[in-house]
A = this chain, B = another copy of it.
Amino acid sequence: MENYIYYTPTKVYFGKDEELKIGKIIREYNPHSVLIVYGGNSIKRIGLYDKVIKSLKEENIQYLELSGVIPNPELPLVYEGIKLAKENDIDFVLAIGGGSVMDTAKDIANGVANPEDDVWDYHLGKKKPTKTIRKGTILTISASGSEMSNSCVISNPSTQEKRGYGSDLNRFDFAIENPELTYSVSKYQTACGIVDIAMHTIERYFDLGEETNLVDDIALAVIKNVFKFGQIAYQNPTDYQARAELMWASSLAHNGLTHSGRRFLLTVHQLEHVLSAFDSSIAHGAGLAALWCSWARYTYKYCFDRFLKYVHEIWNIEGNDENAILEGIKKQEEYYQSIGMPTSLKELNIKKEDLEMLALKCSQNKNRTIPGYCPLGYQEILDIYNLAFEPK
């Protein structure tokens, strides 16, 4: 087991009606002025916006709004938020939404606190933020895990890059998680969320590391429950328990719990970010679903025992040979198909002739190898993209 730091300071208020406390919770931080960040009209449609505004007014909390965050959120809106916040003495950011909104809020908070920096430099790994301002979130979709994670992923449309960075300053002070707020999430978005949550933990489970048995077993418990309750929520969007299990899994899948003592690489995420940066209509979860099974078939020989335990636990496969693993991968493929997720790049409308260009981007022009039990350089990345184009 490798040394590690475990740090999950985000205070989670979980359950029905918890969002009604938002005014009182923010009041504890006594901010001068709050920037509310959100996407489109969905938070108004479900009545959440009005509840939040009412609660803030009851506590006489000043606020401004920044809306318009889109999936695969973009750098220009981050810059706009930073500018707005600086001009208005904002010292607290409240994200209402999913991963795109939360990551936009994280970058704004860091940008405000470090006015001399260009936040994009954090994404390029050229700089690290040294401070931040307070921030909280009200979650409206279970997917990204950004509500408890240290990560922030933003797309830069001018360079077609989508890049994330990790920092404990990216952790929210609090997260409000009311599963009922996700009842109206569409089947498709629910499915994308299921894949994203599961993948956060599957990736950690398959990341490099020495033996970590307890952490592995916790990871497998998370994955099993995501698949089980994901399917229930997909079929019955207002099943409270299913939405709740999924929401809590979302937070635990990405807060560090499931990789304590292991490396943290998220290999398939690296393969996917290139796709949704290239075509922003590709949902992150859909991209992951389209890639995982091919990645698994390409790499399982390099961590055979882990794969064996995985298919035993997750897919109840018996047997201890290669066929057991391949059968498990097949089951996962069928599961993804059962919730309407793509399992090939072709389904994402990616063209065969784009694969080389994508592999070049992913390998940063053949300058990086993604580490792992099976390290992935340009050629291996291209092989996996080819395999994933139209798996047999």
Contacts and interface: CB of A to CB of B under 8 A. Distances in A.
A369 interface: no
A9 interface: yes
A218 B221 contact: yes
Contacts of A18: 3
Interface in A211-262: 211, 213-215, 217-218, 220-222, 224-225, 228-229, 240-241, 244-245, 248-249, 252, 257, 260-261
A5 B175 CA distance: 10
A2 interface: yes
B213 A217 contact: no
Contacts of A245: 1, 213-214
A15 B4 contact: yes
Nearest to A257: B257
A11 interface: yes
Contact size class for A?
35 or more
A335 interface: no
Contacts of A240: 1
Contact of A225 (B1, B2, B3, B214): B214
Contacts of A15: 1-4
Contact of A14 (B3, B9, B249): B3
A241 B9 CA distance: 27
A6 B221 CA distance: 19
A135 to B, nearest CB: 16
A1 B221 contact: no
B248 A214 contact: yes
A11 B277 CA distance: 34
Question: Which 10 pairs across A and B sit closest by C-beta, in order of nearness?
Answer: A3-B15, A217-B221, A214-B225, A6-B12, A9-B9, A7-B11, A1-B244, A214-B245, A218-B221, A4-B14
Interface of A: 1-9, 11-18, 210-211, 213-215, 217-218, 220-222, 224-225, 228-229, 240-241, 244-245, 248-249, 252, 257, 260-261
8 contacts: A2-B15, A5-B11, A6-B11, A8-B9, A9-B9, A210-B241, A211-B241, A217-B225
